[in-house]
Structure 1
Amino acid sequence: MMSNWNGTIIGPGHTVHENRIYSLKITCAENYPDAAPAVQFLSRVNLPFVSPQTGTVDPARLPVLASWTRASSLEHVLVEIRKEMASPANRKLPQPPEGSMF
């Protein structure tokens, strides 16, 4: 069963994330795709839906995970996280030093 995945997000331009590469760990449980995957940043990032201690994404605070359907995909999750990085509320948040990891 292919349940453990690595994801990469290239920070969106014109934000504090520009030119940064973020690594993520994605874990799909046995009931995937009926249930949302667990997502964790390995690269340190400051975003409201990411735990500052562990890098774990809070599914209740990220709409794509909160409203997960069987039609959703891992790619969709990564694209939506990147969109959140570029949102007006998050595009200028101070970030940890580049290259720091959880």
Structure 2
Amino acid sequence: MAGFHQTQNSVEMPRGFYLLDELEQGQKGNGDGTISWGLEDEDDRLLSRWTGTIIGPPRSPFEGRIYNLRIYCGENYPDECPTLRFVTKVNLNCVDSKGVVDLKKLDDCKHKGRFCLKTILLSLRRLMSSKDNCKHTQPSEGCTYN
């Protein structure tokens, strides 16, 4: 089949179809409204530049705050990890001083051997509730990375 990646017993969607599916999922919403994602520019034909939003989990230092991210899906996404960078300042053990997320520190960020934006955002939100991250003092609300 032209354009499809063949694996041992299955056929994987090409990048464009996979990203269109993720876009459709993002437009439908997560169900509980705690995360969202979509294209940064609807004219992005390569489907590379995305935005993400996480609403801080209850009973955590992140509660009631909205965290915005920029996401870049390179030409080898979803087989290779995307680049995520928080726009809103946050103190998490997987985020560096410039807001860049180290996906290696996240559990569950791959879905069936491929990366998935929904899974990554849910994993980040779940990490916000972890004991280690609940101990961190958070930047003032409204602070952003340069």
TM-score, structure 2 as length reference: 0.64
1:61 is matched with which residue?
Answer: 105
SS for the counterpart of 1:97 is coil
What is the CA–CA distance in structure 2 between the aligned matches of 1:43 and 1:99, rounded to whole Å? 7
Residue deviations 1:5-25, cap 9 Å, x none? Answer: 000000000000000000000
| RMSD of Structure 2 on Structure 1 (CA) | 1.4
What amino acid maps onto 2:76 in structure 1? N
Distance (Å, rounded) in 2 between the aligned partners of 1:22 and 1:37: 18
Q: Rg bigger for which structure?
A: 2
Measured after TM superposition, the shift of residue 89 of structure 1 is 1.4
Selected match of 1:7 from 52, 62, 75: 52
Residue 76 (structure 1) aligned to one of 119, 130, 133: 119
Counting matched residue pairs gives 99
TM-score, length of structure 1 as denominator length: 0.89
The 2-side partners of 1:77 and 1:64 are apart by 7
Partner of 1:21: 66
* SS of the residue 1:40 aligns to: strand
Which structure is richer in relative contact order (CA contacts within 8 A, separation 6 or more)? 1
Provide runs of 4+ in structure 1 moved above 3 Å: none
Structure 1: any 5+ residue segments left out of the alignment?
none
Q: Give the share of equivalent positions with the same residue, in percent.
A: 42
Q: Unaligned stretches of 5+ in structure 2?
A: 1-45
SS in 1 for 2:126: helix
Cα distance in 2 for residues equivalent to 1:78 and 1:45 = 14
